[in-house]
Amino acid sequence: MKSGGNEILATLTPPVTISLENEKNPWLAAAARFDEAAMRLKLDDGMSKVLRTPTKELTVNIPVQLDDGRLEVFTGYRVQHSLARGPAKGGIRFAPDVTLDEVRALASWMTWKCAVVNIPFGGGKGGVICDPRLLSDAELEKLTRRYTAEIIDFIGPERDVPAPDVNTNEKVMAWIMDTYSMHARHTVTAVVTGKPMSLGGSRGRPEATGRGCMFVTLKALQRLGLQPENSRVVIQGLGNVGGMAARLMAAKGFKIVGIVEYDGAVYNPKGLDIAALQRHRHDTGSVTGFGGAEDMDRQEALFLDCDVLLPAATENVITSQNAARLRCKVLCEGANGPTTPLADAILADKKVFVIPDILANAGGVTVSYFEWVQDRQGFFWNEQTVNERLEEIMVESFDAVVG
């Protein structure tokens, strides 16, 4: 079986086995993990079939006139994995390497994630194959609005509620909400979450995924008898999840010793000044060359001796090829699917405390749920209420998972 393509049917024959050739295919990785869980739960065959197969998959081809007058066609997907517990919930990502298999995997992980934190949603995900860095704001807006128009019968507050994901943000959510509302002929705030606050967004939503990572990391350290003060943390990704986690964890006393980005990595054993590093990256376009740290190789940075490693970028960062070299005590999966199943087995042997993605990064969708509730009530909570309710859910879910 080739990995990474769309040639694999949604219905695979269980049990799926993962090899060196296919370990990086997220849909196979998701199916293999599902099969193992189903086996452990002694789930009957019929129920296994229902739960491992995405309910609906939509592929759309979106024509967009670019600024230079050329007409381009972009391909996008929206997959609803399960609607059993409520409307599908999950982000939309814009990236050049999006595949249908990836969107399927991400949609199924959303189903399990919403169930882990016990919020009344199923799982969905969307993706558009494009490189947003090469598109102007006007082109991105056209692309987003046309994509929304193509999936408009699929989504809705009671059906499927998109949110931000890799390379999408509150501005993109506002375009989706506006396009949907134009068609509905009235304002429908609850059709997306992660919106700007002025358009029905929730307080605390931008920080929620990073904050949730912090809450579960605190719980893991407690279990291991470690203190957050001076615990050394390496974070991969300085975007919404990694950047927020870094700031919040530093404020709690953690020492953020390493930051890894696609443009390089920086290290300071005494702890990095995250706000200053973000300013430096904003001004220069890179984390490297930062006065308060030394540059280092971005692969090697993952193997730094640390207490917590927090991958907060994309899939397949920790694989069979590098898992043995990790030197963290806790691996907090801020990204979706950063660890392949083969790597998971190596980490289990090494006794690394892994906080799986469907728990670790569930803070984002939890506050998305709060946003959806607030939109539907037309009554908005203060930030303290959002953060306290988030902490309660993350702590309860951690205890339920770890036992």
CB of 356 to ligand GLU, least distance (A): 13
Looking at the Cβ atoms of 201 and 364, the one nearer to ligand GLU is 364
Assigned token pair, 22: 């296919």
DSSP secondary structure letter of residue 308: E
Looking at the Cβ atoms of 165 and 261, the one nearer to ligand GLU is 165
Grouping H, G, I as helix, E, B as strand and the rest as coil, residue 287 is coil
Give backbone dihedrals phi and psi of 228, rounded to 5 degrees, phi first: -65, -35
- Is position 89 an interface residue for ligand GLU (rule: CB under 6 A)? yes
Looking at the Cβ atoms of 90 and 264, the one nearer to ligand GLU is 90
- Is position 165 an interface residue for ligand GLU (rule: CB under 6 A)? yes
CB of 272 to ligand GLU, least distance (A): 25
Interaction pattern, residues 91-110, with ligand GLU; x per rule: CB under 6 A: x-------------------
Assigned token pair, 264: 């390089």
Looking at the Cβ atoms of 22 and 193, the one nearer to ligand GLU is 193
CB of 165 to ligand GLU, least distance (A): 4
Active site residue 125: yes
CB of 281 to ligand GLU, least distance (A): 22
**Pairing verdict, β 308-311 and 255-261:** unpaired
C-alpha–C-alpha distance, residues 278 and 264, integer Å: 13
> Nearest to ligand GLU by Cβ — which residue?
91
Residues in the chain, how many?
Answer: 403
Looking at the Cβ atoms of 163 and 394, the one nearer to ligand GLU is 163
- Is position 170 an interface residue for ligand GLU (rule: CB under 6 A)? no
Interaction pattern, residues 138-157, with ligand GLU; x per rule: CB under 6 A: --------------------
- Looking at 125, 142, 195, 219, which residue is catalytic? 125
Q: Pick the piece of the chain touching ligand GLU (CB under 6 A) from 58-66, 89-97, 243-251, 387-395.
A: 89-97
Assigned token pair, 181: 């509302």
Assigned token pair, 201: 């967004």
Sign of CA dihedral 316, 403, 243, 144: positive
CB of 353 to ligand GLU, least distance (A): 21
Give backbone dihedrals phi and psi of 288, rounded to 5 degrees, phi first: -70, 155
C-alpha–C-alpha distance, residues 89 and 93, integer Å: 13
C-alpha–C-alpha distance, residues 249 and 214, integer Å: 6
Q: Pick the piece of the chain touching ligand GLU (CB under 6 A) from 71-79, 88-96, 228-236, 265-273.
A: 88-96
The residues facing 73 across adjacent strands are 63
Grouping H, G, I as helix, E, B as strand and the rest as coil, residue 255 is strand
CB of 37 to ligand GLU, least distance (A): 19
Assigned token pair, 272: 């990095």
**Pairing verdict, β 264-267 and 294-296:** antiparallel
- Is-contact 25 8, C-beta < 8 A? yes
Region 349-368 residues binding ligand GLU, contact defined as CB under 6 A: 361, 364-365, 368
- Interface with ligand GLU (CB under 6 A): 89-91, 163, 165, 193, 336, 361, 364-365, 368
What residues are labeled active site?
Answer: 125
